[in-house]
Amino acid sequence: MFSRREALTATLKLAGAVAGQAMVGGARAEVGHDRNARVPYGSCVRPEALETEVDYRAAFLTHCQQITPEGGLYWGEVHPTRQQFNFDKPDRVLEFARTNGMAMRGHTLVWYGAMPDWTKQIHGAGEAERELNGYIERVMSRYRGKIKIWHVVNEPIDDAKYAIPGLRPNIWLQQLGERYIDMAFRTAHRVDPAAELLLNEYDVEFADATAPKKRQALLKLVHGLLDRGVPIHGVGLQGHLRGQLAIDRDGLSKFVSEVRSLGLSVHVTELDVLDDLLPASVPQRDTIAAARAFDFLETIFAAGRPAAIVTWGITDRYTWVPMWYKRKDGLPNRPLPFDANYQPKPLWNVIDYFCQQKA
């Protein structure tokens, strides 16, 4: 599956990144207290572990300038029944973020996933509009001025394999049509005009048959939103890299450049490397994972520094990956920058290297 050449290139690139890190080490010391000089690094977080596990908390305190609740702001958690709102988890994450000078990111206001059952009973455009707007108003007004970056709409593009994909089916598309996206952004902007509002999407970076189609669909959507004067400020690239797939540098580069040329920011929002199809050997696997991330980040940075690099977890101890991409050989997945014992992996060196890049 991996040619010797590919493995060799990966090793060399990684060595380059680590050498580069050593080279700018002095500069880092010099700007050590100025967080703005670095591209902020962040991770999603599980509040239970944050409160019970010293090493987990230490990893965030040592490395993160940003933090995203992993699931606490899903509809299913915030609004489990028609009557109930529950802000316990995001409030706990916010408290931790504020106490420690980190920025909290809001993930996510509109997503097809993690929807509570009661929303299946929403019928008709009027009711859908009321529920969607009411939810955004309720959640965003609670965190106005506190959560300054929102993934307003998550994964809006369908996964269709053979055509240019349209919008992914969800309750809002069904009841309101495409305008549900416009509405979500407009309402979010009305509630907190200072918040940075993003569209968040995945699978746009690979050298495979589907990524170019997904990019095309996403650009079409973004152009449409801007043409209609919808207040969208940036695009989040989730970056759930598939270890077995190379990065399409050319395609990704054109995509990122076009997004930026529209005046939109670019954020890496959920970086990890899905390693279910990678070789068993840990050193080999970690090297390939780091090399994929290197290709991904280098391409993005070539078009201009992104606003943030956020990974979807910080330690292999707590990751969503085995829920969806478990390895057949039973070995634990290793998708994240620190291993299950909080030792830094080559992936961390790559991330740290890019976070140090000057504008």
Q: Which residues belong to the active site? A: 155, 270
CB of 202 to ligand XIL, least distance (A): 6
Among residue numbers 226 through 255, which ones bind ligand XIL (CB under 6 A)?
Answer: 238
Tokens linked to 9? 């290139």
Nearer to ligand XIL, 114 or 160 (CB): 114
Nearer to ligand XIL, 38 or 79 (CB): 79
Closest CA to 313 of 110, 97, 41: 41
Q: How many helical (H) and strand (E) elements, i.e. helices and strands, does the chain have?
A: 14, 9
Nearer to ligand XIL, 253 or 265 (CB): 265
Among residue numbers 52 through 91, which ones bind ligand XIL (CB under 6 A)?
Answer: 70-71
Among residue numbers 165 through 204, which ones bind ligand XIL (CB under 6 A)?
Answer: none
Tokens linked to 123? 């019928």
How many residues interact with ligand XIL (rule CB under 6 A)?
6
Residues 264-293, one symbol each (x = binds ligand XIL by CB under 6 A, - = not), give ------x-----------------------
Which uninterrupted H or E stretch holds 337? Answer: none
Triad 63, 68, 74: Cα angle to 5°: 160
Residue type, 167: L
Residues 307-326, one symbol each (x = binds ligand XIL by CB under 6 A, - = not), give -------------x------
CB of 36 to ligand XIL, least distance (A): 27
Among residue numbers 110 through 169, which ones bind ligand XIL (CB under 6 A)?
Answer: 154
3-state secondary structure of 30: helix
Query: What are all long-range contacts of 13-17, with beta carbons under 8 Å and residues at least 24 apart?
Result: 13/291, 13/294, 13/295, 14/287, 14/290, 14/291, 14/294, 14/346, 14/349, 14/350, 17/290, 17/294, 17/349, 17/350, 17/353
Nearer to ligand XIL, 20 or 71 (CB): 71
Binding site for ligand XIL (CB under 6 A): 70-71, 154, 238, 270, 320
